[in-house]
Amino acid sequence: MDRFTLAWGRWVTRYRATTIALSLLLTLAIASGGQFLTFTNDYRVFFGSENAHLQAFEELQEIFSKNDNALIVLAPRDGKVFTPDTLGAIADATERAWLTPFSIRVDSVTNFQHTTASGDDLEVAPLVEGITNLTDDDLSRIKTAALSEPALISRLISPDAGITAINITVELPGIDEETENPKVATAVRDLRDYIEATYPDIDVYLTGIVMMNQAFQEAAMSDTTQLIPVALVIILLMVFLQLRGFTGTLGSFIVIVLSVIAAMGTAGWMGIRLTPPSMSAPTIILTLAVADCVHILSNWLQKVRDGLGNQEAMAESIRINFSPVLLTSITTAIGFLSLNFSDSPPFHDLGNISAVGVMFAWLFSTTLLPALVTLLPAKPRQGRSLITEMMIRLGDWVIERRRILIPTVSLVIVALVLVIPRNELNDVFVRYFDDRIEFRPHTDFVVENLTGMYFIDYALDSGESGGISDPGYLVQVEQFSNWLTEQPEVIHVSTLTDVFKRVNRSMHGDDPNWYRLPEQRDMAAQYLLLYEMSLPYGLDLNNQIDVEKQRIRLSATLETLSTAQTLAFEQRSYNWMEEHTPALLTIAASPPIMFSHIGMRNIVSMLGGTTFALIAISLLMIAALRSWRFGLLTLIPNLAPAAMAFGLWGLVDGEVGLGLSVVAAMTLGIVVDDTIHFMTKYLRARRDQGLDAIAAVRYSFATVGVALWTTTLALAAGFLVISTSAFSVNAEMGFLVAVVVVLALVVDFLLLPGLLIRFDHLLWRGKGSHAAQSHLT
């Protein structure tokens, strides 16, 4: 192994031009895959195509119609919707909303199809017509009608008549996914600009699925344009401070950038669509790539200081670092690959891109980096740095206080593990974005003042074609919708029974006593036929009734709920149906249901992923350290950091969503690097140099202490940059990973050395201290 790595090191430093050219060519070839990269703008990417809840929702949309929407909310400054000016603005905006690309339906207070009795006939007409001639009487009649209309109240008009909305339903063809949603969003924003310019006394807010999808894309792009450059600058600054050399910093910069480019190019070739989670991959890669560079460059500088020639020192550094850097890269990659266990495909992408990037970082830092930096003469600083001194002193302190440190640190670990259960699963997808993404403040306003963003759909099956007119069925639907309406979480229920009642009333001269369901099946069917025949283009009932007239889509709008509340509500609705309307019992489908279930499913599947990573990494450790005892010992410093971090999270925040559920598996591969470096040096001291446990620990602190300190700082800084993402899934993940890597260093510095000394007799039992030499050193 040594001969091979030495040859490797000599080759790349001798044939520098070839090495550099080959690296650049390889990168160029792979980077060309970048042309296939596109940003996704569909929240559905968070669910695999196999996801049962997504399938249920898609099925429901196929039976009825899609209800992807953009909601334009109008808030007149005088707080009065029912004035000629505001109604005029709504009518104008409604008319223009029909021009939105892919729109199939536009609903507003003005075009609401109001039914009245006109003599013996049923008059169906827009609620607001002929705005220029509206009298005060007309206005108050319209207001009364709107506020007493269940289809409108708390959906398109606030109960205080102060805020109103225009709902645009779109059906995206899904042919050119990259451009479709942005087209709609742009048109809707243009319409907003038009309204604000034409009617300066009206404030406009935009929300809905289309705007949320757009927010996903915008969050991913903002991470790309804002976080990556910041992370790059911070990391390079840290490399510069560590190496105090321009050459090394420049070399690292090139390695880092090429690793990211190669990884993203691979993503392009793999056909990955970029999502906010996968867009943290570049930052992660550049953060991790720097560790490889630091290890190789610091040993190179050290060897030069020791008097070796520039290239020879590099070949020597490659010999020493080749295996540990390869091993840490592999373990890190394994950690990331275990994200494939996730239920949410964007995390597969994040894991795969990062894993690929980490391996490229290894490749470039053992080829391109040596070739590049040896082009210029090395100018190492002389003497030990202050930080090296501090590391040695820290080592002495840890050795001295180990009898206190072992129980203290262990106690802290146990205490933090015990509070892990304080964490609660919670994925509130409308809060995935912070206020920097327009969607969030607008949605907050709408949720606070008008209606909810959460909805749950039930496709209620009557069991036979035409059965929706069956009075027995209708009564059950009415009972269920009444029950839903009574629930404290429910803001609005959209149900066809309200239409039946409204038409029935109008068929009886608008007599309020007839606001009830028709009592005969044929009568109900014929009323419905008459009503449907009176509806204009785009305002039909096909979004609520299937073609066979067998199923009704009941849609409940809810307050923004936590995962637990959503799941509880879902279950409660099943229980109620089971008890009262068992014939109707059906699965609830909607994005909130999907997001609520995926959080739980993802945690369960990521437990599998973490276990996989743990076993794979531990086996690698045992093989690499050539000792199952030491391999098993590393379980403590490898597992404790994530466990402690989740304990801390339980104390501080306590809400675990999609982003955090992948942290344990992901960090396992990263934190293990510290252990590998520390243990490798320790074992080398014991096995090669015949030092005792205490001296070997001291040696470890002196040789890798600074490198571990620096790489941890760099990692923490990189992930803290991610924690400033406007996308909370990334932000929380970045923050927790930063906490984990810091805790890993704490455990490796404060607990591991003590354990190595305290259990020395057990660890070496049956073996001389000159056991087989680890191939790592």
Q: How far apart are the first and last CA of the chain?
A: 10
> At its nearest, how many Å lie between another protein and the CB of residue 128?
14
Rounded to 5°, the CA angle 438-439-445 comes to 100
Q: C-beta of 182: minimal distance to another protein in Å?
A: 16
Comparing CB distances to another protein, the nearer of 271 and 466 is 466
Q: Closest distance between another protein and the C-beta of residue 65, in Å?
A: 6
Whichever of 465 and 571 has its CB closer to another protein, that residue is 465
Q: What is the rounded CA–CA span in Å between residue 650 and residue 641? A: 14
Are the beta carbons of 633 and 607 closer than 8 angstroms? no
Inter-axis angle of helices 281-305 and 246-269, to 10 degrees? 150
In the bound state with another protein, the residue whose beta carbon lies nearer, of 479 and 542, is 542
Which C-beta is closer to another protein: that of 125 or that of 250? 125
- Residues in contact with 36: Cβ distance below 8 Å, sequence separation at least 6, in sequence order: 268, 269, 271
**Closer of 418 and 535 to another protein (Cβ):** 535
Per-residue tokens: 482:
């009444």
Measured from the CB atom, the residue of 477 and 545 that comes closer to another protein is: 545
Report in angstroms how near the CB of residue 563 gets to another protein at its nearest.
30
User: What is the amino acid identity at position 118?
Assistant: S
Given a contact cutoff of 8 angstroms between Cβ atoms, the answer to whether 602 and 344 are in contact is yes
408 φ, ψ to 5°? -65, -55
Q: Which distant-in-sequence residues (6+ apart) come within 8 Å of 284 by Cβ?
A: 350, 354, 357, 718, 719, 722
Which residues are near another protein by CB under 8 A?
Answer: 59, 62-63, 65-66, 98-104, 120-125, 171, 173, 465-466, 469, 507, 520-527, 529-530, 532-542, 545-549
Q: Which is nearer to another protein, 116 or 487 (CB)?
A: 116
CB of 86 to another protein, least distance (A): 23
d(CA 325, CA 500): 71
User: In the complex with another protein, which residue's Cβ is closer, 19 or 586?
Assistant: 586
The contacts of residue 40 (CB under 8 Å, 6+ apart) are 177, 216, 217, 220, 273, 274, 275
For residue 274, give the DSSP letter. E
Which lies closer to another protein via its Cβ, residue 37 or residue 523?
Answer: 523
Nearer to another protein, 542 or 777 (CB): 542
Cβ 57 vs Cβ 405: under 8 Å: no
Nearest distance from residue 111's CB to another protein, in Å?
11
Least separation in angstroms between residue 170's CB and another protein is: 9
Q: How many CB atoms lie within 10 A of CB 180?
A: 21
Using CA atoms, how far apart are residues 515 and 509, in angstroms rounded to an integer? 11
CB closer to another protein out of 116 and 226: 116
- Could you tell me where the DSSP H helices lie in 450-590? 471-486, 496-507, 521-533, 563-580
Query: How many helices (H) and strands (E) would you count in the chain?
Result: 29, 14
The answer to whether 293 touches 252, Cβ cutoff 8 Å, is yes
Give whichever of 153 and 517 is closer to another protein, judged by the CB atom: 517
As a whole number of angstroms, the longest Cα–Cα distance in the chain is: 107
Structure tokens given for 67: 């209800």
Nearer to another protein, 63 or 419 (CB): 63
**Nearer to another protein by C-beta: 332 or 462?**
462
Given the complex with another protein, which of 474 and 558 has the nearer CB atom? 474
CA 566/CA 579 separation, integer angstroms = 20
Minimum CB separation of residue 669 from another protein in Å reads: 44
Q: Nearer Cβ to another protein, position 534 or 769?
A: 534
Tokens standing for 408? 């203290």
Instruction: Say if CB 389 and CB 28 are below 8 A apart.
Output: no
Taking the complex as a whole, how short is the minimal distance between the CB of residue 118 and another protein, in angstroms?
8
For residue 394, give the nearest of 644, 704, 671 by alpha carbon. 704
Q: Which DSSP helix (H) or strand (E) runs through 432? A: none
Question: Tokens representing 760?
Answer: 């020395």
As measured in angstroms, the least distance from the Cβ of 333 to another protein is 42
CB of 349 to another protein, least distance (A): 29
In whole angstroms, how close is the CB of 466 to another protein at the nearest point?
4
Q: Distances in Å between the alpha carbon of 226 and those of 34, 230, 351?
A: 19, 7, 21
Collapsed DSSP state (helix, strand, coil) of residue 314 = helix
**CB-nearer residue toward another protein: 90 or 490:** 90
Alpha helices for 223-245 (secondary structure H): 228-243
Closest C-alpha among 658, 233, 177, 649 to residue 428: 658
Least Å distance between CB 457 and another protein? 16
> 323: which 2 tokens?
């295996």
**Pick from 753, 745, 752, 747: which is nearest to 706 by CA?**
745
Nearest distance, CB of residue 61 and another protein, angstroms: 8
CB of 345 to another protein, least distance (A): 24
**Beta strands in 65-191, from DSSP E residues, in sequence order:** 68-76, 103-107, 113-118, 121-126, 164-170
* Interior angle at CA 312, CA 308 and CA 316, nearest 5: 95
What one-letter code names the amino acid at 608? G
Q: What is the DSSP letter of 373?
A: H
CB of 494 to another protein, least distance (A): 18
Consecutive H or E run containing 456: strand 454-461
* Dist CA 401 CA 379 (whole Å): 38
Q: Min. distance of Cβ 126 from another protein in angstroms?
A: 9
Residue 100 or 328 with smaller CB distance to another protein: 100
Measured distance CA(85)–CA(128) in Å, rounded: 12
**Closest approach of Cβ 568 to another protein, in Å?**
31
